[in-house]
Each structure stands twice: as C-alpha cells, then as structure tokens.
Structure 1
Amino acid sequence: MTLEEKVSLVVGWGPARRVPGAAGETRPVKVPSMVTSDGPSGLRIEPTKERKWYATAFPVPTMLASTWNLELVERVGRAIGEEAREYGVDIFLAPGINIHRHPLCGRNFEYFSEDPLLSGVVAAAYVKGVQSAGVGATPKHFAANEQETNRVIIDTVVSERALREIYLKPFEIVVKEAKPWAIMSAYNKLNGKYCSQNEWLLTKVLREEWGFNGIVMTDWGAGDNPVEQIKAGNDLIMPGSDEIVTKLLEAVKKGALSESELDRSALRILRVAQLSLSYRGYRYSNQPNLEAHAQLAYEAAAEGVVLLKNEGALPLKEGSRVAVFGTGQIETLKGGMGSGHTHPKRVVTILESLRERLKVEEELSSAYEKYVLEKRGREFLEKLYYEEAYPEPLPQDIVSEEQVAKFAERNDAAIIVITRISGEGWDRRLEKGDFYLSNSERKLIEMVSRQFRAKGKPVVVVLNICGPIEVVSWRDLVDAILLVWLPGQEAGRVVADALVGRINP
C-alpha cells in the first residue's frame, strides 16, 4: 500500500454514503468500506427524503440489566445485529458500558448499571449476540466518560485503583469474554490526557494487559491531535475528513509520525475489514424481521419491569374500572434522546393498552388526550413516538379535586403515570420537574391519594423514566409503584400486562 492509501485507511470517510443516515463509514482502500451505525436500544439510521430504515426499539440497556437474564440480553443483541446486517451495516456503535457514577448523567439510560461486574457481564452477552449475526460491536466510551456536561473538555482525575476496580472493569470483562471487533475511545481527558490520545489506556492496558486485538476508533470528533491519536493506539479517526488525512501525511513526511506506527493501525483495520459483511459480499435484504423482534422487545421489557412497592394494590383485575392520570399515558416514552434514539415502525402507548385490559375512565383520559393534542400537536407526538422530540414538561394537574372525587366514586383504582426523559449532550438537574416531582405532579398525587384512599381504593404510580427520581417524600401517598424505565416500542403492552398480572415483575 502507498503512504496515501494507509493514511486514508485510518481516517473515516465522513457521513455514511452506502447507507445514508448511518453514523459514518470507513474509506474503501484495498478493501470495501465499512458502514457504522448507532445504538444501543436498537439500530439507528436517520431517515432521508428517499426512505426510512425502520428498526425495533428495544428496552434501554438499564432495563436490560434489570432482567438479570444474560441469555435474553444475548438474544436482543443478536436481533439488533440481524437488523444491522439486513440494512448493510458492518459495525454497530454499541453497547455503552460507562458506569452510573452519578444518578443524573444524561446518558445513564444507555448504560447498564452502577455496578461494574453487572455492567461487564451483561455487555458481554450483548456483544456476543450482536457479533453472532456477523456484525461488529463497539463497546464505548473508553473510559471514565460518566457525565455529559463538558464531556469533550473535562479532565476526569481518578486513581488507578478506582479506575481498575470500577471504570475499566466492565471493558476488561467484555474484551476478555466477548472479543468485540472495536472499542470507541471517549471524548474526555483521563488524568490530563485525552482518552483517544492516551497510550497508557489504549495500548498498555487495553492491548498489552487485556489482549484486545480489534480496532480502537474515536468518538465523533474527539481529541485534538490526530498524530497523537495514531501514536497512542487509536487506529481509526471518526468521522474523519480530508483535512485530517493531510495532517497525517505531513506528519509522516516530517517524521512526527513513523510509518511503522501508521502501519500498525492500518493493519488492524484491514484485519477487521476482512471480518465484515461488506468484505464477504453479503447481499443485505433491507427487510429485517421486525415482527419477530417486536415480540422479543416485549419479552425483554417484561423481564426488566421492577415493582418498587405493592401494598395489596396489584395485580388489578382485568376489566376493572380505572382512572388514569398524567400526560404520560399519551406521551409514553419508548427511549432516550441523542444518538441512542430509535425509529420503530410502531409504538404502543400506555393508554392504548390499558384500554384493552381495563375499563378506562374515558371522561378523564379523553380530557388528557385533548389537552396533550392542544399543547403539543399531532406532528410532535409522531416525532416523539417514531423519531425523537423533547417533551417540555406540561402541568399534570388538569383536573380539580371535585372531579377527582367523582372519578374515585365510579372507579376501582387510580393509575398515575410519571415520565422523565434525558439524552446525549446534557445532564439532568437536581430540581423540581426532574429529579424531584414538579409542583403539579405533587399536587396531583396528593389529590388522587386523598380521594381514592378515602373510599378504600388503591393508587398506583407508573414510572416511565430514564433514571432515578426522588420517591421518599411521596411513596407513602400511594399503594404501588411500578418502574418501567424506557421500555421500547412495546411500552404500553408491558405496562398494562404488569398491572393486571400477566407479567410478574
């Protein structure tokens, strides 16, 4: 290979061309290009004017970890890998295996757990599943990328013991147990050095100690020195640009980067490319089995539901009359925002499925439907379900206490839906309406609790949330709390079936 060819190989081609809407693509140099696409709750390929790439919206990784079922997680990984394969994607940019160091990290929903062992073994199952379909997986963000605030400039200062016992441990487990094709280095600095330019992290620990033999790629636009990235052992610079190619060529010619260092990265990319579907000439169908995977998404979410409290309130008898409060029955959240969002063909809302299993108080739910449509509009809801949209919190207490008393008189139970969403690029806040209940949520719970409990009828709260919220101050006002995280496209079915006992949380 010529010097120009080797340099071109280690720098991405920019936005994906073969599969428009995918995250990126390597350059076709001696081997076919490799298409990369985001995850982790399902394959994400952004729609274009010409077409949409529908993919299954699976439960978020935090919910997958809540199943404690490695075989099930591996099946989910395989299903995602199959969808990637049938859309022409070679490398899937997931799973995220950073630690829930802070409960308000905006991307916690993309990560499995606060526990390094659980994170590692669940991630290993996930990676095995993806790669069993012939698609490479990319555990990320290596390493200590546990917040979104200032993520591209922050210097994470941490002792080596804490690093190895907590933040590196999930990566060590997944590398040794699942042998991923790729690792994505993180945006942040680690003890003064950008992760993508950190030789101790990428070469000494990852390769020499753990035996990793795949490729390391940057996060999109990470770091500030492509020469240092290659020297440190970061093989592929993404998304890449012609300017970076020029910088690397000049560096080799001036002796700032040796050709042997360049050869090392180029060879690793060639080895992984030879594993890829593109290299093997796979003819993808553009027709993944979305129906079968929808059922798997339901199964995975069903096992990840957590019953936080139940004082005889659940299960509800099928066909009983229920009053459902909160806009979340309509604004049901399937997943989070940012690169981890999904484009499913269908999303089942909580209200839709409750109407199938129970006798919903239509005067109340219809009022919430009208309210949401007036405030949001149909187009917004379509984006919320099938693309991504940030639902600025609406007041929840749209009914008076007199109306609540009327609903308590003619219904057997109350259900209150509380939602929270977060996403890439920002962290959650320690304030009302985020970690704490908003004033309107608190008022609603207090009204419903007073009126329904006065008549001996239970109050159930459903938490359709991206991460922890404070519950201690209000848990005694309700009789059951059902945590359903961000459960994917089958959200409504899972909630309804858990409430009536078809699912045992």
Structure 2
Amino acid sequence: MNKYNVYIIILIVVFIFSACQFKKEEKKKSNSYETTIQTKSISLKFDSKIDSIISLMTLEEKVAMLHGNSMFTSSGVERLGIPELKMTDGPLGIREELHRDSWAALGSTNDFATFFPAGGGLSATWNSELAEIYGKSIGAEARARNKDILLAPAINIVRTPLCGRTFEYFSEDPFLNKSMAVPYIKGVQSQDVGVCVKHFAVNNQETNRGTVDVLMSERTLREIYLPAFKAAVINANAYTVMGAYNKFRGDYLCENKYLLNTILRDEWDFKGIVISDWAAVHSTVKSLKNGLDIEMGTITDFDNYYLAKPLLDSLAAGKIDKQTIDKKVKRILRVMYNLKSIDSTGRAKGSINTKGHLTNAYKIASESIILLKNSENILPINTSKINSITVIGDNATRKHAAGGFGAGVKTKTEITPLEGLKNSLPKEIEINYAQGYKEIYEDDDKSKTYGRKISNKIDTALIDEAVQAAKKSDITVIFAGSNRSVESEATDRENLNLPFGQDELIKKVTEVNPNTIVVIIAAAPFNLKEVEKSTSALLWSWFNGSEAGNALADVIIGKVNPSGKLPWTIPVNLSDSPAHATNSFPGSETVEYKEGILVGYRWFDTKNIKPLYPFGYGLSYTNFEYSNLKTDKQEYSMDEIIKVEFILKNTGTKDGKEIAQLYVSAPESTVVKATKELKGFKKVFVKKGNAKTVTISIPAKELAYYNENKKQWVVEPGTYIIKLGTSSKNIKSNVTINIK
C-alpha cells in the first residue's frame, strides 16, 4: 500500500469518526431537548408590519378585538387575514369544546384530552425538569386543538389552607413557585402556545373574590406575592397575564394602574397582553387606561361588554383616544405573530391524548406522591407474603377529571386506585372492595357541583361493612381524602376536617386490622391528627391525572420509591396558620394580610409553632445521609454566585430520589425577617449504597429584602447562615458566609 492510499484511509476514518460524534451529539441534544428549551421573548420584529395592518382597520374592527366574541375567543378581522384569538382552560388539561354562546359542552367526539396532575401535585415533585415536560405536553395538546392561549398556570401563593383553588396553585413559597412556573411556561410556549399566567395578583381566597379589597405592605407584596409573576414575565417571557377578580388597595385588578402599568409594564417591561378573568371587568375607560387589553366574560351578550359598544360610545364622547385603542390592538397582533397564528408557517402542529403524554402524566404523578408515615415499614407491600387485600374508600373508585366549579377535563383515560392495584398486584392475590363512606350533604341540591355544606352524618352501615371486610384480609388500604366538589373554585372550605366521617372509618378499620395503609387523595391541607394516630402507614396523593391509579399502585407495591415533598404546611390546628392566627381571613369588604411576609412555614418556624407536617416534608423507602456541607468560599460580593456543595449518600436498601433543600437565615439583619427562607433545592437520584457530590448555586441577590423607604431591593452586608435540610424543620447542617 503506497503512502497516498494510507492518507486516504486516514481521512476516511477521521470523517467516519467525526460523523459518529456529530450523530452522538445530535442524539444527546434530542434526548435532552425537553429540559433545554430556550426562552423565546416576545419579538418586536413584526411591529412595522403590524402598524401597517392597523392603519387598514376600521375603528369597529379594532374594538371588536378587545373583547370576547364567544366564550373562549376574541374577534379577528377576516378580510385582513387576522383569525380569532382562541383560548382554552388548562389547569388540569385542555377543556372540552363548548358552544360559542354558552357553557354547554358541544358534544364533540374529537376533544378528549390527557388529564394532567393538579398544580399542587406538580409542585410536590420539586422537579423543574418535570415542570417543563408538563408544560410541553399540555402545550402540544392545546396546539392539537388549534388553541393560541392556555389559561394557565395558576401561581398564586397558598395563603390559607382553606382556599378552594389550592389544588391548582403551586405552593406557599415564592421561590418554589417561580422555580416550577418558569420551566412550565417555557415548555408551553415552545409549542407556539402562549400561557396566560394567573391570577395577577394577590388572589388568595375565593370568599368574596369578586369584591374583596386586599391590603398589605409593599414589602409583603414584593417579597411574597409577586416573585413568581415577575419571573414568569422576565425569565420565562410569558406572552399573556390574567387580571384577577378582587381589588388591591381600592382598585379592581383589571383596572389597577399600580399593578398593571407601574409594575407589570413599566418595571418589568411586559410586552404581551393582559386578559381579564371571566366577568372581572367593572369599567370601560378606567380599565383601558390602566392596563387591560382584552375583556372576557360569562354572559353571552358580547356587544355589551365594557370593551364593546360602551367603548365605542366612550370614543365618540372623547373619553378615550384612538391611540390607546391602537396600542391595545398592536399588543394583541404582536402576540399573534409571535405565536404564528397569523402567518402559520412553521407553527407546531401539536398532539393530544398520546401514549407519550400519558407517560409524562404518570412520571409527574409518581414523583408527586408523598410518604408521610411508615413507622412499622408496612410500605411497600411485600406481595409475596399476602394472599388478600381489602380496598376501602369512595376515593378508590372515584374519578377527579371533572367536578366542582370551573374547568375539568374530558378524558378517555383515568385510572382509579382500585384499577391501579388490580393492574399491579399478582393475579393470585384476592382483592375485596368496600365503599366505607359516601358523600352526604345537608342540602338535597344534587345538581350543584360545589360549595354544598358537608353533613356531620355518618353512614354507619358502610363503616360496618368496611370493618368486616378488613377483618378478613392480610392488609387493608383505605383511600380517603377529598374530591373536586369539596375543593373547588368559587368557594373556600369551612374547616380542615376530613369529610363524610372518614376519621371514624379509619379508626374502626385500623382497630381490627393494624396492617392498614391510609392514602389521602386531596390537593389542600386537611386535619390529619386522628389519622396520624390511627395508622402506621400514611401516603398523600393528589387529583393526579390520567395515570393516578397506576402511579399510586406502583408506590404501594414498591415499584416506585416515593420522592414527593409537601409544597405547603399541614398545621395541627387551623388556628396555627398565619391568616387564621391573625384573624385576617376572610375579611368582608377588605382583608388585611396582617401576617406580612410570614406566610406558610415562615410563620411556623419564626413563631416556633410545631406543624403536623412541615413544608418540604416527605419520607422515602430508603435513607439518605448528608455530609461535608461547604461553600466555594467564605465571603461574597452582592453580584456573585454562592456555590454550595455537599455529599448525599443513600445508606438504605433501595435506589431513591431525595430533595435537598437550602434555607437561608440572616441573624444580623436590621429588619424583621423570617427565621429561614428557601433559596435553593435540587432533586437527586442516588443508587443504594452510593454517594453523590451535589452542588446548588444561590445568587447573592436572592438574599435581598425589599426596602420600602428606598423602593428597591437591598442585600444587607453581614453574616448569613445557609441551612441544608430535608424540610423547613429538619435541618441537617449549616454553614456561615459573609456578604461584603
């Protein structure tokens, strides 16, 4: 072989190697795409084209774009190629199609969707990668149904455990909220669907939600109630924001100049559109001048919306100018061009009700389930040592995709817990079922799906039946908790009690069969004092989507090691919670947030009040050990990143995921602060017997508080203590740093 041929062979080998490496990198990119979506800001490149379109529009056509022309669309201009702006509900999945002029279902056969876990369940995963996958999946389903705007996520703070919308809100903590909201939004908008982040802002109760005036300090507003919205706009570039029902400092939130113009537009430089919550508008001129762009409603006389004929009348009377109208239309068209809804070239096609989306729903559900107690190691069930199992509880067979007030999901797939166990348990194990309890209300209005007064009556016959069944089985699983009628938009709960006599049921069953596992299916805190006493094994699940039953069953039999942690505090008593301890819920005409910045665990930890289960709490089927906590240096400037490092070892017998949490204290602060605040976390998978070095970064700017006098964020120089823990109460170690 001559020298020339050798060179040729070498070149061929190099080429093949390079091609293989390229393919490997491409595959790597493909596999990691769901967690590496780039932020897409609202582009202004279409503005000149938009200006030329607006110049061709009549005044009537412009005004028609500023209000609903059906239950979930606002008008386009057909002659100019502008389609309607199409919206859909989406806290739990894409809503079924409705008639244009009523809330009645259209009865289509092609509008089935995946039922995704509720917001509380997603946040209980503490997994930002899953939040992005969730967003991408639900965004794809919205696109498959030809929608432009998804009316989600709902990221208001859980201020009171009684709030009817706790099930769809993320958490009681602003840092956890924004950590989940940002990737969720990026995921949705990667599918050419805009989110509508709601409900902006300070919308934390359903009682008197349409009239109550919320009052709080500026520091409380900035530190607790706005961070997730700010991150949604600045970090995730949310395309739309929804104005809430209530008032803030005297003005309704769809005409609140301070929040919509001063903060949202001027401070955060928001370029998108503000859409009202349905029937949340109370004026024409004031709403338009103070930041609202589109009015949506619940009545079907669309021409009489505040931003319809009354707006044309206000224009004719000179109460508002045409330039203001043009500004609103430009914002709408800008979003539509960015979403490719006008020029649809290259727009995502979407997909709906797919196996992939069901798989994603399963992943989220399985990581959201929380092990609250396992004192006798009953869990996971050893299926080789039992012959029979009794399943008890209405929630064992109940489906949660629909119900309550507000948006449900029309789905082909919702696996109940009983179905999940039948799918997972060996066929030779006998499964018996007893209902155990049923819904009993004080009224007979069965047509009402929410807000009914729960009766104190107990169906003793159902309890007796359940007790007899439990006596005959090796192990019993009680599926207790709540449902979509008990937890619902438009109404807050009266108390934290488990409904329908469940405490009595659980007590009686555990007395005859100590091998009893209790599973609470609910999405807001409940009083679990008696349950905690009665049972040695307690799991918490959620309104957990299409694959809820399979996920639960896999946790119960040990196929999945539970890794969820609480996104809010479960108190011993309702009166321990800050909004109730300060007697500042629900208010009447006004509600003052007297607890200030001490919301959720901040209150419990600062006031030394012991909760039943603290924020961030959750056990595992394995054990983890923390060691060697350190920072990359001891002193930082205010613009630096604090790198925290520690070793996490799985000392148990099962592979598992742990959520390491970093809290920060400021003992030398000159202002009142919480004892500790969450400033970082990471979910880490560690095989049994192995250890991992974990690094979590905290920007020093995250240590800032809002100085009301200076009207700016301030990082105080001095000593800070970084605390590493498994919950807000269980701190494993700490390290001290200084800020210059």
CA shift, 1:360, in A, is: 6.2
- Over aligned residue pairs, what C-alpha RMSD do you find? 2.8
CA shift, 1:503, in A, is: 1.2
* SS in structure 1 of the partner of residue 69 of structure 2: coil
Q: 1:423 aligns to what?
A: 488
* SS in structure 1 of the partner of residue 254 of structure 2: helix
2:161 and 2:473 map into 1 onto residues whose CA distance is: 36
CA shift, 1:474, in A, is: 2.9
Confirm whether residue 288 of structure 1 aligns to residue 337 of structure 2: no
Confirm whether residue 27 of structure 1 aligns to residue 94 of structure 2: no
The normalised TM-score by structure 1 is 0.88
Correspondence list, 1:361-376, <5 A: 362=431, 364-365=432-433, 367-368=434-435
Q: 1:437 aligns to what?
A: 498
Matched AA of 2:527: E
1:159 and 1:97 map into 2 onto residues whose CA distance is: 20
Correspondence list, 1:214-363, <5 A: 214-239=272-297, 241-244=302-305, 245-281=308-344, 288-311=352-375, 312-318=377-383, 320=386, 321-334=388-401, 337-358=404-425, 362=431
1:83 to 119, 130, 141: 141
Q: 2:70 aligns to what?
A: 14
Superposed CA offset, 1:179-229 (max 9, x none):
011000001111110000011110110011111110011111112102211
1:39 and 1:400 map into 2 onto residues whose CA distance is: 37
Task: Give the number of aligned pairs.
Answer: 476
Q: 1:447 aligns to what?
A: 508
Matched AA of 1:3: L
1:398 and 1:325 map into 2 onto residues whose CA distance is: 14
The normalised TM-score by structure 2 is 0.61
Superposed CA offset, 1:373-394 (max 9, x none):
9x9xxxx9xx9xxxx8999889
Higher mean alpha-carbon deviation, 312-321 vs 204-213, is at 312-321
Superposed CA offset, 1:337-356 (max 9, x none):
33332111111111112123
CA shift, 1:110, in A, is: 1.0
CA shift, 1:163, in A, is: 1.0
CA shift, 1:274, in A, is: 1.2
Q: 1:206 aligns to what?
A: 264
1:267 and 1:11 map into 2 onto residues whose CA distance is: 14
Matched AA of 2:303: D
* SS in structure 2 of the partner of residue 140 of structure 1: strand
Higher mean alpha-carbon deviation, 91-100 vs 352-361, is at 352-361
Higher mean alpha-carbon deviation, 224-233 vs 279-288, is at 279-288
* SS in structure 1 of the partner of residue 281 of structure 2: coil
Query: Is the contact made by 1:333 and 1:419 (CA closer than 8 Å) also made in structure 2?
Result: no
2:122 and 2:128 map into 1 onto residues whose CA distance is: 9
In terms of fraction of residues, the more helix-rich structure is 1
1:98 and 1:267 map into 2 onto residues whose CA distance is: 28
Confirm whether residue 411 of structure 1 aligns to residue 473 of structure 2: yes
Residues 173 and 401 of structure 1, relative CA distance in 2, 3 Å threshold: same
Higher mean alpha-carbon deviation, 181-190 vs 322-331, is at 322-331
CA shift, 1:475, in A, is: 0.6
Query: Is the contact made by 1:26 and 1:35 (CA closer than 8 Å) also made in structure 2?
Result: no
Higher mean alpha-carbon deviation, 51-60 vs 293-302, is at 51-60
Superposed CA offset, 1:478-504 (max 9, x none):
011100111111111011111011111
Query: Is the contact made by 2:518 and 2:537 (CA closer than 8 Å) also made in structure 1?
Result: yes
Residues 368 and 73 of structure 1, relative CA distance in 2, 3 Å threshold: same
Matched AA of 2:60: E
Greater gyration radius? 2
Residues 420 and 169 of structure 1, relative CA distance in 2, 3 Å threshold: same
CA shift, 1:234, in A, is: 0.8
Query: Is the contact made by 1:175 and 1:212 (CA closer than 8 Å) also made in structure 2?
Result: yes
Q: 1:19 aligns to what?
A: none
Residues 186 and 390 of structure 1, relative CA distance in 2, 3 Å threshold: closer
Superposed CA offset, 1:139-190 (max 9, x none):
0010111111221111112221111111111101111111011000001111
Q: 1:20 aligns to what?
A: none
Confirm whether residue 38 of structure 1 aligns to residue 97 of structure 2: no
Identical-pair percentage: 37
Residues 232 and 204 of structure 1, relative CA distance in 2, 3 Å threshold: same
Q: 1:2 aligns to what?
A: 58
1:345 and 1:318 map into 2 onto residues whose CA distance is: 30
2:166 and 2:260 map into 1 onto residues whose CA distance is: 24
1:336 and 1:66 map into 2 onto residues whose CA distance is: 22
* SS in structure 1 of the partner of residue 501 of structure 2: helix
* SS in structure 1 of the partner of residue 258 of structure 2: helix
Superposed CA offset, 1:25-54 (max 9, x none):
343364211100001221112441343401
Matched AA of 2:526: I
Query: Is the contact made by 1:187 and 1:222 (CA closer than 8 Å) also made in structure 2?
Result: yes
1:459 and 1:400 map into 2 onto residues whose CA distance is: 15
CA shift, 1:286, in A, is: 8.7
1:412 and 1:49 map into 2 onto residues whose CA distance is: 45
